[in-house]
Amino acid sequence: MTLEADVKWMRHALSLAERAATEGEVPVGAVLVKDGQAIGEGWNQPITGHDPTAHAEVMALRAAGQQLENYRLLDTTLYVTLEPCAMCAGAIIHARVSRVVYGAADPKGGAAGSVFDILCSDRLNHRVACEGGLLAEPCSAMLSSFFAARRKAQRPDGVVLTAADENLADENQGC
């Protein structure tokens, strides 16, 4: 794929993330592409779907499996606005996705190099080519904006806590 195609599909994933946000979900979107065509789309839906596995990546993989009538999604690229978690990385490997392109890194739970490196692990039977940071700024901004609004809505005085404030509070709480 060319950089131009990668940007096009990541922008599509961002539009799916916006859909998640309008539904009150964490704004993550994903699209699976094969031969220049979208074969599966997803956005976070664990809250609305009462399904802890309904992450954007899993939803896109499920849709693609139905479209292709196959659980093996060979020669595909998954575009996702946030670095996949361990669960999603496992699903991506089992589906035999060839390549993952993500926007924002996830320093607390990313499994494509930030915390774990599951997608490229030589201990597994399939390795996925992985590239991070494409349109990272708009991907990160969408997430930051969503969580800032959520924090503001939760505070009776309307004061918005920063991520640093939250991390300090977490550290002071213990395990």
For the annotated catalytic residues, the residue numbers are 57
| 76 contacts 97 by C-beta, under 8 angstroms | yes
* Distance between CA atoms of residues 132 and 10, nearest Å: 11
Angle formed by the axes of helices 136-154 and 3-22, nearest 10°: 10
Yes or no: say if 17 and 28 are a contact pair by the CB < 8 Å rule: yes
CA-based Rg of the chain, rounded to a whole angstrom?
16
Q: Is 11 helix (H, G, I), strand (E, B) or coil?
A: helix
Q: Give alpha helix (H) positions in the chain.
A: 3-22, 46-49, 56-68, 86-95, 136-154, 163-173
Quote the CA–CA distance of 55 and 34 in Å, as a whole number.
20
